[in-house]
Amino acid sequence: MEQTIFILIVAFLLLDVVVGTWLSLLNSRHWPENVPERIASVFTQKKFLKARSYSHERRRLSYVVSFFQLALILIMLFSGGFARIDDLAGGIWNHRIGQSIVYFGIIFLAVDVLTLPFQWYSVFSIEQKFGFNKSTPAIFIGDKIKSWIMAAVLGGGIFWLLAEIYYSIPDYFWLLAWGVLTLFSLLMTMFYSNIIVPLFNKQTPLEAGELRDAIELFAKTNGFNLKNIFVINGSKRSTKSNAYFTGIGPKKRIVLYDTLIEKHTTDEIVAVLAHEIGHYKMKHVTSGFIFSTILNLGALYLLNLFLSMPEFAGAIGMKPSLHASLLVFALLFSPVSTIIGVVSNIISRRHEFAADRFAYDHTHTPALADALIKLSVDNLSNPTPHPYYVFVNYSHPPVLERLDALDRLSEKDKN
């Protein structure tokens, strides 16, 4: 049994990297020689070639990182490294829950430190070369330290609570853990922008003026109660643009990147926000939350079955423990996780088309299409990704598909 589990772990790891590499290669060969006609007025040939070069450099780095991480895990599996870390964690904190927290802390920190050179290269070489990076070494290191502290406090705290439930009420662990994680997820949805974002970025209310007036008028006209409109200093780290809707109830807010305001017209920004409001009006946020909580319930039920089987810990040379079973479960769950990701992406892409349609129906202007083209050009996005790659990895439809859908809506208006 233990040998079979070990073989499955190795097979799943290899399969994940092989399939991911194959899809990436397909995607890299799907770039056309010239700019698609629909976006040629903005996406110049020079920009197009720059976007292709950017995509290729990021792809090559992703190959190196994927194979490096695979090699790390395989070395740990075949050398008994996971068991040695367990001994080290037990020596640091000889407590059944404390040892588990230290164990995962060592693994998390070791992986992050070992991949730090690749993260550094991504930001200060690739992003810098293509004109995106605005970060500094001090900001980069500060972000890392904050992330580690946050992971230790939030991750360690939640893990301790779940472990206490497991040891105290093992028969109902999966159900009670689901309740705790659902509540935590709900609280994070409500307070993410109030608590987490300020640790990394500055948010300020959008100043009174033409843009705020236009946004408030659109929201009021379409029955959307919106008082919280914030601008985030995304330019602190990157020139890339974004906007998002976050929170629920009285905590809901629209967040605009300062780079978005700098590069887009008022009509374009209103159209982008109309898209975000469309997600809310069509209950995409609610349905997404319900979908994820149902998936979590199923995953926790499967995990509960794993936790009662000592063979899983033995498969990686460890003594039976909560953290050993969790680690093996995570390694074996990767194919299921991939399938869930594909299904989630399919649903997400449909939601994006629906939100685009909402934005168009409530603006009846080409502003959203213009904004999508600008965002694609400014972010050097791939306008023609391979369909297989899109199917597995894209949560948003490719820009040309979104533009085609908007063009069809425009044609209907004319007729």
DSSP for 178-200 reads: HHHHHHHHHHHHHHIIIIIGGGT
Nearest to 55 by CA among 381, 287, 347, 335: 381
CA angle 365, 369, 371 (to 5 degrees): 105
Contact status, residue 277 vs residue 219, Cβ threshold 8 Å: yes
Contacts of 25 (CB under 8 A, 6+ apart): none
Using CA of residue 54, residue 387, residue 391, residue 65, what is the dihedral sign?
negative
As given in the structure block, the two tokens for residue 245 are 């809707």
The reported pLDDT for the residue numbered 224 is 85
* pLDDT given at position 364: 86
pLDDT at 415: 66
Q: Are 36 and 383 in contact (CB under 8 A)?
A: yes
Closest CA to 288 of 329, 259, 246: 246
CA atoms within 13 A on the CB side of 213: 3
Q: Which one of 352, 356, 370, 401 is the catalytic residue?
A: 356
Tens-digit pLDDT profile for residues 301-321 = 999 988 878 888 999 999 999
Contact assessment for residue 17 and residue 66, using Cβ atoms and an 8 Å cutoff: yes
Can you give the pLDDT at residue 108?
96
Q: What are phi and psi of 320, to 5 degrees?
A: -55, 130
Confirm whether 356 is a catalytic residue. yes
Contact between 212 and 229 (Cβ < 8 Å): yes
**What pLDDT, on a 0 to 100 scale, did the predictor assign at position 261?**
95
276 among known catalytic residues: yes
- Residue found under tokens 């008028």: 217
- How far apart, in whole angstroms, are the C-alpha atoms of residue 132 and residue 173? 46
Q: Which of 276, 352, 370, 378 is catalytic?
A: 276
The series of mean pLDDT values per 10 residues for the chain, 415 residues long, is: 93 96 95 89 90 96 97 96 96 96 97 97 97 96 97 96 96 96 92 91 94 92 86 95 82 89 95 92 90 94 87 91 94 92 96 96 92 94 95 96 94 77
pLDDT score recorded for residue 244? 86
